[in-house]
Amino acid sequence: MTIDVPTTGRSLPQLQPISFIDADGRLTDTPTAGLRIPGDRTLTGLYRQMVFVRRFEAQVTHLTRQGRLATYPSAAGQEAAEVGATTALAPGDWLFPTYRDSAALLTRGVPVGEILAAFRGDWHCGFDPNEYHTSPAATPLATQTLHATGFAMAAKLKGADAATLTFLGDGASSEGDAHEAFNFASVWQTPTVFVLQNNQYAISTPLREQTNATMLADRAAGYGMPGLRVDGNDVAAVFAAVTAALERGRNGDGPTLIECLTYRMESHTNSDDPTKYREAEEVEHWRQFDPIDRLEKYLRSTGAVDDAGIEEIAAAAEALAESVRDAMNREAEIDPLELFAHVYAQPRTDLAEQQQVLEAELAAAGRA
Amino acid sequence: MSVEVDTSTRTPSAPAAEAVTMAKALNRALRDSLAEDDTVLIFGEDVGRLGGVFRVTEGLRAEFGSTRVWDSPLAESGIIGTAIGMAMNGMRPVVEMQFDAYAYPAFEQIVSHVAKMRNRTKGRVALPITIRIPYAGDIGGVEHHSDSSEAYWTSTPGLTVVTPSNPADAYALLRESIASDDPVVFMEPKSRYWMKETVSLPVATGPMHRAQVLREGTDATLLAYGPTVRTALDSAEAGAEHGLSVEVIDLRTLSPFDDETVSASVRKTSRAAIIHEAARFGGYGAEVAARLTERNFTHLSAPILRITGFDVPYPSPKLEEYFLPTVERVLDALESWDWEL
Ligand SMILES: Cc1ncc(C[n+]2csc(CCOP(=O)(O)OP(=O)(O)O)c2C)c(N)n1
Ligand SMILES: [Mg+2]
């Protein structure tokens, strides 16, 4: 008796990361797995959004140091992955972000005050998920990857066109939930794109202690889905890869795992001290792969942007930074009684009693 | 294989007392346990190079090397599950869950295996594992960083649940937890990590399973643990100004419950209240109120009260002050009793 086992249909991602534009702003000769470089107009738009995002992250980090926010995890250095992936989404697609992905929320059009509500100390996620087709950012690691899978499955069952995209980190890829999501998505053939931002660290833990695999994109093969490894600092490559993966999903061809090789330039959050676990030289080394510098060089070389264009974008980014300062310097009005308002759909008498306790205290303190 | 730790006799010459934080006292307890017993291992997320996000394991990897103290991959179920295997193979793992809410991915391993292995094997397999969990709020943490998860663990038979409220107890209770052949969930109140106390380590502070009377009184008993012990002591002080003599007990170990110490106090004062940050419904205070009533009903002159967080998700930094049990709420509770009886 022979055992019938499939011997084809399994492929590993290419070792060399897919990239179109190298660190010097020149076109690469790297194989790109059939993907095509986006046109200059698209690239200029991506450039613009990356500049916005960088300015946004710098401004929020600064305000956090001044005590305006409780904590903030910056994605500085990861602009290409954040912007390239999110821009590839259609408006009807859904995004399932993490705490690291404020840049993606900004790219999705969520107003800055709403993006930052929770980091600032409010009790809710700030924005209406249904309005922006974006789930609240998840902090319990990798949990959102399953939500993205389930959402996509429901879309498939309803015959809807929507795909889902979820971000996760190199550290989060070790959590059981990540593996379960990869498997569910592949078994169910859901239109889900897993964008794994490999920024080399999970707080202090370096990639080599997180995984013994050659690359994280290899995981896809074990779950029977395509995996791609892209230069995560090349926004052209990220955008092209995610666009193609979303298309695959919408065509009924199932999920894709895309590992974006990048680097976390800032500390994990403002309360982290990276000097305890990495050398300043390493951070400097990564500066030469900067996603924005290289695209600027490239777009200048094709004539898509010139000094005036760059200046206009920088000025618009300044205006964005100012709007962030305005929003964060305004004292947030938070009504303590809202603590009780949204715990259940069906009101509960014991909760109402507890609310009365707080109401009485506030009244006694002259605060209500 | 059990390691006897008698902290009272292990100091050849009494070391000088110095001001230590709870984080430092815990660090010293880990260090001394590692030094004394080479089956003690420490692993978890960021506990090596970084020394933990609260610096409780700082310096231990440098001192003991990365075969004793190391950073694991990022997976809590993996951390607890592998600790189980190691314990079955003669080790004494001390693992860290980075935050209260991040222990939840390991819930299955903890409640189905850590808690039950002794019973499932008729006592033949012990799991001397210490699971350190920083817990509770009042640190301005964003969501998922301030949970009081103690009732999940105390309602699980097979687990011993310990929580210190001060540096000396932090040292002594952690040493004893690590030495214990029962698995211990060791809950560290985050808001007390930076609390300083002048103490000479090592120190012995009384057996792990016993509660401690911190302040004597005759009118009422306030029960507290971990982060709310300070609130209880402050309330007793405030109560004294109103002419009330309030006894304060630090439970120290939540499971098992020290009925002897607590019932003796309640029989003396005839009134008791329990303070915790966790929500009220089904919280630890419910067990305390029920068992004290069962055992001391005829000695009580008032119902046992709970001063707790509200039954809502732990709120954001801007609203924690409204959620946390305050001295005012404790005093309100004391005043609500009918003192004419
Ligand atoms: C289940 C769970 N465990 C632990 C944490 C604490 N934590 C927050 S971020 C982080 C590191 C995550 O690293 P990675 O997935 O690489 O994402 P990055 O922060 O680098 O973007 C850890 C351990 C958490 N949020 N959730
Ligand atoms: Mg990372």
Q: Does residue B220 share a domain with residue B176?
A: no
pLDDT at A368: 65
Interchain contact, B144 vs A140, CB within 8 Å:
yes
pLDDT at B5: 47
Q: Does residue B177 share a domain with residue B41?
A: yes
Q: What average pLDDT does range B56-81 have in this prediction?
A: 98
Residue B67 lies in a domain: yes
Active site residue B145: yes
Q: Any CB–CB contact under 8 A between A269 and chain B?
A: no
Each residue of A12-41: pLDDT tens digit?
899 999 999 999 999 999 999 999 999 999
Interchain contact, A139 vs B328, CB within 8 Å:
no
Residue A328: list chain B partners with CB under 8 A: none
pLDDT at B2: 46
Asked whether the predicted pLDDT for residue A341 surpasses 60, the reply is yes
Residue B11 lies in a domain: no
Ligand 1 atom nearest the C-alpha of B104 is 1
Residue B101: list chain A partners with CB under 8 A: 140
Interchain contact, B74 vs A205, CB within 8 Å:
yes
Ligand 1 binding pocket mutation candidate from A57, A78, A102, A141 (most atoms within 8 A of CB): A141
Q: Does residue B218 share a domain with residue B194?
A: no
Each residue of B186-236: pLDDT tens digit?
999 999 999 999 999 999 999 999 999 999 999 999 999 999 999 999 999
Which residue from A141, A203, A348 is facing B50, i.e. has the nearest CB?
A203
Each residue of B40-50: pLDDT tens digit?
999 999 999 99
- Assigned token pair, A33: 């797995």
CATH classification of the domain holding B309? 3.40.50.920
Q: Which domain holds residue B122?
A: 18-199
pLDDT at A3: 76
The residue among B136, B168, B199 that closes a domain is B199
Q: Does residue B22 share a domain with residue B76?
A: yes
pLDDT at B1: 38
pLDDT at B55: 97
- Assigned token pair, A313: 């974008």
Residue B9 lies in a domain: no
Each residue of A83-107: pLDDT tens digit?
999 999 999 999 999 999 999 999 9
CATH classification of the domain holding B98? 3.40.50.970
Ligand 1 atom nearest the C-alpha of A75 is 21
Asked whether the predicted pLDDT for residue A2 surpasses 80, the reply is no
Q: Does residue B137 share a domain with residue B27?
A: yes
Give how many domains chain B has, as a whole number. Answer: 2
The residue among B199, B228, B253 that closes a domain is B199
Asked whether the predicted pLDDT for residue B13 surpasses 70, the reply is no
Given the residues B145, B209, B242, B276, the one annotated as active site:
B145
Q: What is the pTM of this model?
A: 0.95
Percentage of chain B exceeding pLDDT 90: 94
- Rounded distance, CA A58 to CA A71, Å? 14
Q: What is the SS3 string spanning chain B?
A: CCCCCCCCCCCCCCCCCEEEEHHHHHHHHHHHHHHHCCCEEEEECCCCCCCCCCCCCCCHHHHHCCCCEEECCCCHHHHHHHHHHHHHCCCEEEEECCCHHHHHHHHHHHHHHHCCHHHHCCCCCCCCCEEEEEECCCCCCCCCCCCCCHHHHHCCCCCEEECCCCHHHHHHHHHHHHHCCCCEEEEEEHHHCCCEEEECCCCCCCCCCCCEEEECCCCEEEEECHHHHHHHHHHHHHHHHCCCCEEEEECCEEECCCHHHHHHHHHHHCCEEEEEEEECCCCHHHHHHHHHHHHHHHHCCCCCEEEEECCCCCCCHHHHHHHCCCHHHHHHHHHHCCCCC
pLDDT at A1: 59
Residue B13 lies in a domain: no
**Using a 6 Å CB cutoff, which residues line ligand 1?**
A 100, 139-141, 169-172, 199, 201-203, 264, 268; B 45, 74, 76, 98, 102, 105
Asked whether the predicted pLDDT for residue B341 surpasses 70, the reply is no
pLDDT at A6: 65
pLDDT at B24: 98
| DSSP SS3 for A296 | helix
- Rounded distance, CA A234 to CA A37, Å? 11
Residue B340 lies in a domain: no
Q: Quote the mean pLDDT of chain B.
A: 95
Q: What domains are defined for chain A?
A: 40-334 (3.40.50.970), 336-368 (no CATH)
Residue B6 lies in a domain: no
Ligand 1 atom nearest the C-alpha of A198 is 16
Q: Ligand 1: distance of its center to the CA of B262 in Å?
A: 41
Ligand 1 binding pocket mutation candidate from A203, A269, A277 (most atoms within 8 A of CB): A203
- Assigned token pair, B48: 């090596």
Of B83, B78, B71, B170, the closest CA to residue B128 belongs to B83
Q: Is the dihedral of CA A332, A337, A343, A347 positive or negative?
A: negative
Asked whether the predicted pLDDT for residue B10 surpasses 60, the reply is no
Q: Does residue B193 share a domain with residue B136?
A: yes
Q: Does residue B121 share a domain with residue B262?
A: no
Q: Which amino acid makes up residue B325?
A: P
Of B341, B332, B277, the closest CA to residue B305 belongs to B332
Q: Does residue B98 share a domain with residue B220?
A: no
Q: Which residue's structure tokens are 């307890």?
A: B29
- Rounded distance, CA B273 to CA B263, Å? 12
Q: Does residue B191 share a domain with residue B78?
A: yes
Residue B317 in contact with residue B142, Cβ under 8 Å?
yes
Q: Does residue B181 share a domain with residue B70?
A: yes
Asked whether the predicted pLDDT for residue B9 surpasses 50, the reply is no
Residue B75: list chain A partners with CB under 8 A: 174-176
Residue B156 lies in a domain: yes
Residue A294 in contact with residue A233, Cβ under 8 Å?
yes
Of B39, B118, B114, the closest CA to residue B81 belongs to B114
- Rounded distance, CA A349 to CA A13, Å? 57
- Rounded distance, CA A75 to CA A268, Å? 9
Q: Does residue B217 share a domain with residue B101?
A: no
Residue B4 lies in a domain: no
Asked whether the predicted pLDDT for residue B66 surpasses 80, the reply is yes
More confident residue, B141 or B7: B141
Q: Does residue B187 share a domain with residue B38?
A: yes
Interchain contact, A351 vs B323, CB within 8 Å:
no
Chain A residues 122-141 with a CB less than 8 Å from chain B: 122-123, 139-141
Give A367's pLDDT tier (boundaries 50, 70, 90).
confident
Give A125's pLDDT tier (boundaries 50, 70, 90).
very high
Ligand 1 atom nearest the C-alpha of B74 is 23
Ligand number nearest to the C-alpha of A75? 1
Q: Which residue's structure tokens are 């924690």?
A: B320
What's the DSSP call for residue A276?
G
Asked whether the predicted pLDDT for residue A119 surpasses 80, the reply is yes
Q: Which residue's structure tokens are 């009134």?
A: B271
Each residue of A191-244: pLDDT tens digit?
999 999 999 999 999 999 999 999 999 999 999 999 999 999 999 999 999 999
Q: Edge-to-edge strands of the sheet including A256-261?
A: A94-96, A164-169, A192-198, A256-261, A227-231
Bridge partners (DSSP) of residue B95 are B43, B131
Q: Are strands B160-162 and B253-255 parallel, antiparallel or unpaired?
A: antiparallel
